[in-house]
Amino acid sequence: MIPQVNELSGKLEMSNSVDEDDYEVEKCSQWMNTCNLSKVCLQFPDHLLPNSVEIALRLESRVNKKVYILGDTSCGSCCVDEISAQHINADGIIHFGHACLSPTARLPSFHVLPRKEINVADVIQKFKSIFTNQSERILFFYDVAYAYKIECMYKILSPIYKNLIFTLLNCTSNVGFTDNKGNSSVEILGRCFELDTDCKIGDYVAFFLGDNGKTFSGLAMAIPANKWYFLKNNNIVEYEALNTPWLKRRRYLVEKLKDAKVVGIVVSTLGIKDYLEIVRMMKDIMKRKKKKSYILSVGKINPTKLANFPEIDAFIVITCPENEIFDSKDYLKPLLLPYEVELAFNSSRECYTEYCTDFRQILPGGTNYVDFKASTDSDVSLITGELRNCDEESTVCTDQMNALVLNNSSGVVAIGKAGAEFLQNRSWKGVEQRLGKDDVHSAEIGRYGLPNCYENEPISIQKSTNIT
């Protein structure tokens, strides 16, 4: 985190290389004054950090208050990093760039959304050519980078399509027209909308103003609209969300999770609302399915970090819905969504009609919540061919150990966790004290020289003797 910017005031000259309109400095200052904030953090993605100091100086000169810059976030750049802001007891965050719109729980936030150029007249013309039925029920979604153009499209299309619903963004941003100002009946992936009376989502076709990225794929899989359309190379095309190669691979990983005996619950976000509730839910499911689980917090996830836990068969990752780790094939063990845990172990979910990348949707009160009913029927693994759910004598893991265990000759009192059991069965366990197993003797000179061939190795001494 870069030190307080006002300490640099008067030492740096304001250059004209940055356009204030691109960063909405005036709207940021208005938001700070309206909310009466005294200490605000500015969060920039990596590609905007070169302009961060200049923007902070200009904003601080307007509001005459402390402004800080978050130089390295503890989560993805699309998420509001409340944890880093709390290091200096900030009372607000201004987030620049693309946003996943995951709700926060601690601090108020203001989004300065990016702007992508688009030909509005051309898009409207192609929209009319695809949706010829003007009475058709349509849900209009859009990427946050096109939010600044939605008001113009709304004024043109609303008089033509009577059943057209423009979704709103669940945030406070520089584009006030698209912000959610009421209590909408449905909120999915940061998008809010209210359906017509006596209508369900399946009665609508959905259109997304944007390309086939993480935002669109998450919406298309989570919202079971009758049809989905998106903008591809300036053309509107239909999209079938449930027949993608990504989804087929995810089904394979669900089978891997069913075979797993030790599961790691990786918490890679501390700023998204209700993350503790989903952690408790996942831990409870693992107990009911008689699987051992660990809770891990490793910051930003990468293959090297998770490779340090070889005893874990699969990882459940608690993160934002637009995280790209689920597309990576570099990890040694499967990475799964909380929704996929329910697909594996909740018998109440019988099909893949919806696919939730946002874990908040499967919590109580979410749009895709169902009561958990553990499957007890035995089945055969599609990967290993072994029988599952057939061990009737195993007991559910508990957090309490209230029974006495006799000490044995090896010095091991009890093995109650998968990590300890894994270490116990390894041939090499690292540096050990071996108390009582070795004879006491005076200290000796250790090995010295290069690691590939120490000079006091027996083989090296033998070679030197033969040469002599």
Q: What is the pLDDT of residue 68?
A: 93
Write a three-state SS string for 239-274: ECHHHCHHHHHHHHHHHHHHHCCEEEEEECCCCECC
Q: Residue 11's pLDDT is what?
A: 35
State the pairing for strand pair 449-450/453-454: antiparallel
Outline where 260-353 has alpha helix (H): 275-288, 303-306, 338-345
Q: Which pLDDT value is given to residue 66? A: 83
What is the pLDDT at residue 7?
34
Q: Is 283 helix (H, G, I), strand (E, B) or coil?
A: helix
- Short-list 231, 209, 213, CA closest to 221: 213
Helix pair angle (150-157, 120-130), 10° resolution: 40
pLDDT at residue 391 in the model: 57
pLDDT at 126: 93
- Give the per-residue pLDDT at 272: 86
Q: What is the DSSP letter of 173?
A: B
In whole angstroms, give the CA distance from residue 234 to residue 307. Answer: 42
The model's pTM:
0.78
Q: What's the pLDDT score for residue 15?
A: 45
Would you mind telling me the total number of residues written for the chain in this entry? 468
What is the DSSP track for 66-130? EEEEE-S-SS-TTS--HHHHHTTT-SEEEEES----PPBSSS-EEEE-------HHHHHHHHHHH
Q: What local confidence, expressed as pLDDT, does residue 84 receive?
A: 86
pLDDT for residue 221: 85
Q: Residue 2: its pLDDT value, please?
A: 42
Give the C-alpha separation, 230 to 212, whole Å: 7
pLDDT digit string (tens) for the chain, length 468 residues: 444 443 333 333 344 566 667 799 999 999 999 999 989 999 999 888 898 999 999 999 999 888 999 877 767 788 898 888 888 899 999 999 999 998 888 899 999 999 999 999 999 999 999 999 999 999 999 999 999 999 999 999 999 999 999 999 999 999 989 998 766 778 889 999 998 888 888 899 999 999 888 899 889 888 888 999 999 888 899 987 666 777 788 888 999 999 999 999 999 888 788 899 999 999 999 999 989 999 998 878 889 999 989 889 999 999 888 887 887 888 999 999 999 999 999 888 866 667 888 899 899 988 888 898 887 777 788 788 888 776 544 444 445 555 555 555 555 555 556 666 777 777 776 777 777 788 888 888 888 888 777 877 776 666 666 665
Helices (H) and strands (E) in the chain, counts: 13, 20
